[in-house]
Amino acid sequence: MTSSAAITPDEMLKKCKAWEDQQAFREIVDALSGYPLIEASNQLLKMFVQTAVAIKDEAAMASEITARAIAMLPDTASYRLINSMNRPPFRDIAAKLVLSDNVDRKSPLYMQQLKRCIKDREPSELTSQLRSAIAEASRGGHAVRPEPSGFTSPKRPSNYTLGTVDIMASSRTDRRHYDRLKADAEVFAARLNAPRDFKVLEYRNVFIDNLGQIWNEDGAIIKSRGHAIPNLRRCDVPNLDVGFNLATRTRGLYHFLVDCIPLLGWMVNNPQAACIPVLTNGRAPAFERELLELASLEGPDIYPIDNVVFVESLLVAAGGFAALAGWDHVAPIMNRIVTMAHEIAYEEGVALPKSIYISRSVARRRMMENEEQVHKAMEDRGVTVLHFENLPIWHQIAIASNAQTIIAPHGAGLAHLITSIRPATVIEILPINDVAYVLRWNYARVSQLRGHRYSAWLEEQQNPLSDRWSVKLDEFLPFLDAKLGLNVIAAA
């Protein structure tokens, strides 16, 4: 038998990839735990930690190999691995790693990871250490809070109806995923029924960059997006009297359309906001500019930040996503966008089908291996299969806001649920794993907020080291037919 010491790192990597293909994950951790040349390969270090997280090997996550991986890998990879462990019951391991000497505390990613690790933690010694580390890393900026601005905030409707959530899972999906998501839906419904108020607050005399990072003249970092904060004086940059913050590092359509655009609702037909520029990321993707144009916000209404500006009164929205509950108080901006999209669709003479499936067949991430079969099943049921990546943003909005039934695997196309006429029937085919709950349950939350009839079909990703997945069609299609009412039609 060949000793592991006699195997080169490249040979060991091939063995580990073969085990991965066989889903023999325990063999990967066991082999790499005793492999003396593991530190010669960043790929092996990363694979060891990723596999330990995937199989929930607490001892391996807390091992010296993991600590060395965090110390030796580039900052981005190190903090991503720490974040993958930042979930119950391993949150203490993540906290200890981010507080250790193995991380680069000068990295702009450091404070961002500290805040992730402290979020929702119970009081403890580790929590106190995290809080102290945040205070030091932010140079006191963590304690700077926005103040009342004097601008009138829109009032939420007194009565509103939330959307419903139904969950079904394939037989190869562990029950714990169903239970976790069901509980999350109930918790979020409670938040929507007793939300914080939407408010417009302000920071006084601060710098803000194109990514939405905020700091003051003393160098206190109020908001970090994981990028370096330059040392500047106010005379070094353009100065503004006032501006409303919509600058962000966009992570995709969902985050801008759902998280940012509704925040502008208070400015529509509001005399107080008539001369307030909206601060945006001057280097943002084209879809951001297109959405703002559909909202009739351009020219003097928009101030694109290319680098950094100094603002005497920086206005910010407060209250969180749940503050949008009731919707009508923030709806005017989205109504503008939808109306303009439909006007263009009418002029262009495009069809707006009532039942749609938003495909991800050309996506590079979370590839559904049998999506062609899903396409055929949809077409057999009279559902129009669409590739939104081939359509301009106005066309996507016109289709989604008009559709009565929207079916899709998890992906950015479902962000358009925020524009849909309620109550739409929504069926999301949802690949799920233990580290994906927060991000992948967002369209259920949007549906609850907007009053849609949402259903999720859960498919557990069988290989935790790969984002490829498939749908168990013999179980999914009867579920789909029931949701579409086709079984009732057949019975009649």
Cα→Cα distances 134→42, 77, 217, 224, Å: 29, 21, 19, 11
Contact residues for 443 (Cβ-Cβ < 8 A; gap 6+):
410, 414, 415, 417, 426, 428, 454
CA distance 76 to 70: 10
**What would the mean pLDDT of 374-399 be, rounded to a whole number?**
96
CA distance 408 to 429: 6
CA distance 336 to 145: 32
**What would the mean pLDDT of 350-366 be, rounded to a whole number?**
91
Residue pair 457/428 in contact by the 8 Å Cβ criterion: yes
Q: What's the pTM value of the predicted model, to 2 decimals? A: 0.90
**Residue that the structure tokens 């939420």 belong to:** 156
pLDDT surpasses 90 at 27: yes
Contact residues for 434 (Cβ-Cβ < 8 A; gap 6+):
56, 87, 464
Q: Which pLDDT belongs to residue 398?
A: 97
Reported as type and span, the H/E element at residue 147 is strand 147-148
Question: Of 67-81, 260-274, 341-355, which range is least confident?
Answer: 260-274
Question: Of 89-93, 152-156, 327-331, which range is least confident?
Answer: 152-156
CA distance 492 to 166: 25
**In the sheet that 384-386 helps form, which strands lie side by side, from edge to edge?**
164-169, 453-460, 425-432, 405-409, 355-358, 384-386
Contact residues for 134 (Cβ-Cβ < 8 A; gap 6+):
111, 114, 115, 118, 142
Could you tell me the pLDDT band of residue 363, with boundaries at 50, 70 and 90?
confident
pLDDT surpasses 80 at 184: yes
Question: Of 145-149, 174-178, 295-299, which range is least confident?
Answer: 295-299
Q: Which pLDDT belongs to residue 21?
A: 86
CA distance 404 to 395: 16
C-alpha distance across the termini of the chain, in Å? 67
- At residue 96, φ and ψ (nearest 5 deg) are -65, -35
Query: Of the candidates 354, 410, 414, which has an alpha carbon nearest to the alpha carbon of residue 384?
Result: 354
Q: Which pLDDT belongs to residue 3?
A: 54
pLDDT surpasses 80 at 489: no
Query: Of the candidates 227, 230, 207, 229, which has an alpha carbon nearest to the alpha carbon of residue 217?
Result: 207
Tens digits of residue pLDDT in 42-94: 999 999 999 999 899 999 999 999 999 999 999 999 999 999 999 889 999 99
Q: Which pLDDT belongs to residue 154?
A: 82
pLDDT surpasses 80 at 490: no
User: Which residue blocks in 166-285 are alpha helix, DSSP H?
Assistant: 175-193, 253-254
Q: Which pLDDT belongs to residue 492?
A: 34
Which two tokens mark 419? 């524009």
Contact residues for 136 (Cβ-Cβ < 8 A; gap 6+):
none
**What would the mean pLDDT of 442-466 be, rounded to a whole number?**
91
Q: Which pLDDT belongs to residue 439?
A: 61
How high is the mean pLDDT of the chain?
A: 92
Contact residues for 15 (Cβ-Cβ < 8 A; gap 6+):
7, 31
**What would the mean pLDDT of 281-302 be, rounded to a whole number?**
87
Could you tell me the pLDDT band of residue 252, with boundaries at 50, 70 and 90?
confident
